[in-house]
């Protein structure tokens, strides 16, 4: 008889564009092999240095429409004029094998996920909007117009941070990573 497998947890991590979510998460994940980062699907154009199947599943509008029609998403949202969605299969395969699924989504997506389950929820906040503006400008991946629109969305997202169980202010990268490790140890070990 196959022993019953414990379900893994869903971990939602949100934070405004440019706050440094990737830099905080990547080295921490290397220390938690039981946590799998769920790849989202998006209609956003691929940036230089990004790869399909590594950073996102990059989709055309028609392909994204088909995924919606086939009920493939746990949630999907319009973010910064593009569509992004969490794939049900990706998350289910991870948690059904007893691993934990970390999904990096925006605050609207978190509100939708919360209707189905109670994930561990972590918000990464910038020290200030001025610092966020500087980081978005320095990374040189968005046009000035896109930066303005991402900052406007950031203001709204910051208002939702109280919906999350934990908030980490990314003032110092090493300290933010330390706090994330503490939270994950407390919740998962």
Minimum distance, C-beta of residue 14 to ligand 5GP, in the bound complex (Å): 6
Q: Which is nearer to ligand 5GP, 2 or 157 (CB)?
A: 157
Residue 168: CB minimum distance to ligand 5GP, A: 15
Indicate the residue among 147 and 184 with the shorter CB distance to ligand 5GP: 147
3-state secondary structure of 182: helix
Q: What is the DSSP string of 50-118?
A: --BTTTBEE--HHHHHHHHHTT-EEEEEEETTEEEEEEHHHHHHHHHTT-EEEEE--HHHHHHHTTT--
Whose Cβ is closer to ligand 5GP: residue 88's or residue 99's? 88
56 phi-psi bin (left φ>0, alpha ψ -120 to 50, beta other):
beta
How many angstroms separate the CA atoms of 152 and 130, rounded?
A: 12
* Beta carbon of residue 3, minimum distance to ligand 5GP (angstroms, whole number): 32
Residues at the contact surface with ligand 5GP, assessed by CB under 6 A = 14, 17, 40, 44, 75, 77, 79-80, 84-86, 104-106, 108-109
Q: Nearer to ligand 5GP by C-beta: 8 or 18?
A: 18
Name the closest residue to ligand 5GP (Cβ): 109
């Amino acid at each position: 008889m196959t022993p019953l497998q414990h379900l893994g947890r869903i971990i939602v991590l949100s934070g405004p564009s440019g706050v440094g979510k990737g830099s905080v998460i990547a080295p921490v994940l290397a220390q938690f092999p039981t946590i799998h980062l769920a790849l989202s699907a998006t209609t956003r154009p691929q940036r230089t240095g990004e790869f399909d199947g590594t950073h996102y599943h990059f989709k055309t509008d028609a392909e994204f429409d088909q995924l919606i029609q086939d009920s493939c998403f746990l949630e999907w949202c319009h973010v910064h004029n593009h569509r992004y969605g969490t794939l049900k299969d990706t998350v289910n395969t991870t948690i059904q094998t007893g691993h934990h699924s970390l999904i990096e989504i925006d605050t609207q997506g978190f509100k939708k996920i919360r209707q189905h389950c109670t994930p561990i929820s972590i918000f990464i906040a910038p020290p200030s909007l001025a610092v966020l503006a500087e980081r978005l400008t320095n990374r040189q991946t968005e046009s000035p117009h896109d930066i303005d629109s991402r900052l406007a969305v950031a203001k709204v997202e910051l208002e939702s941070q109280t919906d999350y169980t934990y908030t980490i202010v990314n003032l110092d990268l090493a300290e933010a990573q330390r706090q994330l490790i503490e939270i994950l140890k407390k919740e998962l070990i």
